[in-house]
Amino acid sequence: MTWVDLSQFLVFVLALCAITPPLGAHMANVFLGRPTFLSRPLVPIERFIYRVCRISPKDEQDWIAYTGACLAFGLVNFLLSYLVLRFQSALPLNPQHAAPLRPDLAFNTGVSFMTNTSWQSYAGENSLSYLSQMLGVAVQSFTSAAAGMAVAVAVIRGLVLQKTEGLGNFWVDLTRATLYVLLPLSLVSGIFLCSQGIIQNFHPYRQNTTLEGGSQTLAMGPVASQEPIKLLSSDGGGFFNANSAHPFENPTPLANFVEMLLILAIPAGLTYTFGRMVGDQRQGWTCFTAMLVFFCCGALVANWSERAGNPQLAALGLASHSGNMEGKEVRFGAGASALFSVVSTASADGAVNSAHDSFTPFAGLVQMANLKTGEVVFGGTGTGLVSFLFMVFLATFIAGLMVGRTPEYLGKRIEAREVKMVMLSSVAVASAILVFSALALLVKFAPASYWNPPGALTNNLGNQGPHGLSEVLYNNASAAATNGSSFAGLNANTPWFNVTLALEMLIGRFLVIIPALAIAGSLARKPKLAVTTGTLPTHGPLFVTLLLGTIILVTALTFFPTLALGPIAEHYLMHAGAAW
């Protein structure tokens, strides 16, 4: 790691730590219904929305009603997105005359943005109209992120409330998340990114003549209005196929730094919100610390691996002092690209500023490990905190078994019902990754059919051997972890992958949300127990260590064999002189 890399890493971590308390406190006030500095201009708008939609903020919903509202909202958003994508050729704001997406691709894309995944089996500038980019992508980024934040808040309420069925009102939480958090942050950061050179227009694409006399098409569009929410929402869907590697989406090193900060801002801030809402800020800092330890370890390993590069190139005298620069933008370099990749995969965002397929094996291992830990290294907007609390419940349960006491967390007993819901979610998501990865490899050798068009899957993998396996594992993990980034060596725009990856996205989203809300409903009905000398402290270094050990153990027991056959095997084969 160079001094430049280390300085950027330390400044980034310090900046993240600095913005977490104020943003977390603001979100706590928003969801607790307390006044904020935005109350004067936004309260009238909030009340107007309630009147138009006939929502009563005083109406409480139990966990079943809250879940039903969340699922119904997701279904409506999917249908809207699907219809826009299928009929975009007949809709306005289509200066390039983009054709409708195929049914399987529209299904995949609609599910992708409804589930906050942003998986894109298409090149945005070549496939979508401006209306589809705004209504089918940007709007869905707002709604899916707000829904995730609402679920996180409902789970927190389950820990705070006692002897009640109510978890709040989904529609109120959704409105407040959008109005007081996502929109203001998007507006401010959008103006800043415009100042860095991100474009915002509705012009047709421009045809330019290059210095050599050739012709080049420059894509235009409303990029700056989509870029901030792509980052803040943990959605990551880029306007351009190159995503944040494109100069119109990420033009400068300063913009790159701010984009990374925006990706982690809300997931990190929600840990502080959690501490504020449960009345014990130590609990929030415990969650933040455990997440940060994982993040820092991954970032340091990825940077070391990318700086080391490929030893085969060094043997040929072709090694670069800049490290592994394959698939990276020169304006960012290996260090900033490695850090961005860890930020992206740790947050479930999916935005990329480099080609993950070109990373060294151990850097790719870090990316896959972030995905396969179950979205707990900060994770997605709202869902990251929920997934992390699953691990907290599991660690508390294990600790209770070890000392022979009924496990408790924040005064609530963690019993069989809660642990069953946690394991249901964990097993379902892990099974989706492993089963669909296995099926994808098997289908490669199946006879040609609708699911395996002639010539499609036989050329699907850009590489063979362990790297090809990594491509399949990564893409399936990305879908199930609602991340959306890709190794890119795998051609996923086939009916098979469009359908199966969409199913994984649904599993990864809703088999986390539904068990989480069931747990919240169960906890809200329980009374709070008094703290005694026998109560396990759920803050401090000891509990952080227990948490880290639980996450590592669960991840290793589930995925170590596949990681060993993929990136770990590739690393040792690379040093033995093999190439893939």
Write the DSSP string, 260-318. Answer: HHHHHHHHHHHHHHHHHHHT-HHHHHHHHHHHHHHHHHHHHHHHHHHHH--HHHHHTT-
Distances (CA, A) of 90 to 81, 99, 359: 15, 9, 41
Tokens of 198: 């991100």
pLDDT at residue number 23: 97
Tens digit of pLDDT per residue, the chain (580 long)? 788 899 999 999 999 999 999 999 999 999 999 999 999 999 999 999 999 999 999 899 999 999 999 999 999 999 999 999 999 999 999 998 999 999 999 999 999 999 998 888 888 898 999 999 998 899 999 999 999 999 999 999 999 999 999 999 999 999 999 999 999 999 999 999 999 999 999 999 998 888 888 888 899 999 999 999 999 998 888 899 889 999 999 999 999 999 999 999 999 999 999 999 999 999 999 999 999 999 999 999 999 999 888 887 777 666 667 788 888 999 898 999 999 999 999 988 889 999 988 899 999 999 999 998 877 889 889 999 999 999 999 999 988 888 777 788 999 999 999 999 999 999 999 999 999 999 888 765 444 443 444 444 444 666 778 888 898 899 999 999 999 888 877 778 888 889 999 999 999 999 999 999 999 999 999 999 888 777 788 888 999 999 999 999 999 999 999 999 999 999 999 888 887 7
pLDDT at residue number 455: 42
The closest alpha carbon to 361, from 411, 304, 314, belongs to 304
pLDDT at residue number 311: 83
The closest alpha carbon to 332, from 345, 234, 323, belongs to 323
Tokens of 14: 């310090």
Tokens of 467: 């790297």
pLDDT at residue number 464: 78
Using an 8 Å Cβ cutoff, are 155 and 119 in contact?
A: no
Give the 3-state secondary structure of residue 413. Answer: strand
pLDDT at residue number 236: 83
> Which ranges of 178-280 would DSSP assign to H, the alpha helix?
183-196, 227-232, 253-278
Q: 412 forms bridges with which residues in the sheet?
A: 409
Where are the domains positioned within the chain? 3-206+217-575
pLDDT at residue number 452: 43
Tokens of 509: 């989203």
Euclidean distance between CA atoms 38 and 40, whole angstroms = 6
The closest alpha carbon to 482, from 99, 258, 151, 6, belongs to 151
- Residue identified by tokens 């759920």 is 538
Tokens of 371: 């995905």
